[in-house]
Structure 1
Amino acid sequence: MARVWNFSAGPAVLPEPVLEQVRDELLDWHGTGMGVMEMSHRGKAFTGIIEAAEADLRALLGVPANYRVLFLQGGATQQFSQIPLNLLDGASDGRAADYVVTGTWSKKALTEAQRLGRVRCAASTEADAFSRLPEAAEYDLSADAAYVHLCTNETIHGVEFPADVVLPTAAPLVADMSSHLLSRPFDVSRFGLIYGGAQKNIGPAGLTLVLVRDDLTGRAAPQVPGLQNYAVEAANGSMLNTPPTFAIYVAGLVFRWLQELGGLSAIARINADKASALYACIDRSAGFYRNPVQPACRSQMNVPFRLADENLNASFLAESEAAGLFGLKGHKSFGGMRASIYNAMPLAGVSALVEFMDDFARRRG
């Protein structure tokens, strides 16, 4: 069987060593006579799996002791509602939350939050087709915001905040890091809450990670259901209901794989090399390919690009798939092409894509 180079935005490629270990342990995990999908989430075996996964994640990210690690369900989209339910204090004190809108996902987060409390758009780059980050003078942040929400990497538009993002606010920063969490080092303590769906850099779809500072739990209004209450979830060790056990197991293997590579500093260097090679291909094509994002704001995980002649899109996709390059069609709301080059995509895969793109441009340009 020949595996393809999978550039899908998610569910996305997983590390081959992890998939091989999953295959080998599928029927019998460590001599238990059963696979992880079959074992009780409250049994000793799975308790060891989830505790090891949390410990390895804390080590990778340097998660401080005063943060809870929650393994939840519902995807990042459910967090668009769960965050205001928990952090707006039931809207009893009248404070608003500020949202920075830099693409489709932060805009959706704003729309969902507006259903549940006082929420403001504190900055938006929609007028520039989400091709950049806001300038410092464009932020209109509340003096007493309950929190400030941003999506640090926009999967569709390919815009990414720097790891040391600084906003002119004392309010807790809440960050959707779905599509680049674990792709580079950053200081967790600068954020009040971090969340992300697993299906980009972490593991299978169905798992959502939430890292929340202790002082931001316990703020939910009494009517918020337990399954949506961070304090309740934390008190129950992410097991208020049956957690996504298999996805947590695979995520734990990914965490260990990253550690064996040398941690986040090592994977960040690899990711920088991959992104540099792909953007260089686009930029040297003399307009045959075009990335719409300002260079300083470009994502290292999601690279959208367009062909100068949109009539060539179908040929590009058909020929790329024939060459073993899959998942390159752009999001339906954006069009064009998109290459997602997450942690598990090796440099060899990006090199194969660059070689194809150079050849296609020579033949069709």
Structure 2
Amino acid sequence: MTSEQFEPRGSAAEPMATTRVLVTIENPGNRRVLLEWMQAQDEYEAVSGGAERLRDAEYDICVLDEKRLRENAVAIRDRRRAETGVLPMLLVSSATDFATVKSWTHHTMDQDLWHLLDEIVTTPIEHVELRSRLENLRRVRTQSVALAQKTEQLLLLNRITRHDIRNEMNVITGWAGQLDNHVDEAGKEICERILDSSHNVVELTRAVREFVEVLEMDNDPKLKPITLETALADEIEKRRSLFEDAEFVVDGEIPPIEVQANELLPSVFRNLLNNAVQHNDSKTPRVTVAVTEQDTSVEVVIADNGPGIPADRRDAVLGRTEEKLDNPSAGIGLYLVDTLVDQYGGTIRITGSDNGGAAVTVTLETVSRGDER
């Protein structure tokens, strides 16, 4: 089942002329009131069928009672996930003292059902209340679909732009490499700067791609055991190849342990290692990596001999201020790092290093056997 199967009518520029409403109510009186009212409205169209149509019918709003909600919770959850935009659910409740979804949820103590609902109307059904609730959900549906469509267009534009930028930078890198054989020492230095800037732009496009992937994730990303040694050691070796004039030193050994993370864990270390070199004004950038295993966590410290980061700018570079990425000190790479580490249930802090530069400490939860989420 895909969202394309249930693409609703209408757009941001042209709102839905008719809102399709699936009514699945056990009480025949309540069902009759709802259907008769909708038949008298130009903007609403009742969708035939009952609970069995929850998965496959084309509708924009579903009106259901508590019994149908409990019986079809899985089908409703699957359908809402497959939709483009929000697929609103309106609960018809006989408990007149529950005026909101939240109050009804507190009474039933069922948070899973709460997340499936958007509005509640009480019985006996009043036409004024019904219209108010449906109009609210109608706006939610229309606006969310328009937003989802715009988001999809922006994501496509993002992918195309990144692809084109990377291709152009590869061309620039190739020409700069050939030019290196036809210039004097001063020209060679300029060529080296062009190559460094080209590599930085390519790395930036990668950070943007990974940041978009984070935005597309659920609020509760699926974590799993990831081998720290592989993720960290691989990125160190890749940085050594990319930054030939820099020194990367591993202080001690990287323990063969697993941490709670996902496939984007390598980008945490990649961005931190890149940052330690790209913002380093030393003649020979030196980056030291140390790993310390704790009882239920592990600390990874990446330190450099660069200019360091003043204490009053450390939150800003991670995007933790109100301006987030709009702050002049913020960078998308470190903002991505902070976002990912937070999703992993870990922490990140910036201090000064023993070499006078910056030291970034990433703390991650370790995984014991049987601890996989």
Per the TM superposition, whether the score is higher than 0.5 is: no
Normalising to structure 1: TM-score of the pair? 0.21
Normalising to structure 2: TM-score of the pair? 0.21
Bigger RCO of structures 1 and 2 (CA < 8 A, at least 6 apart): 1
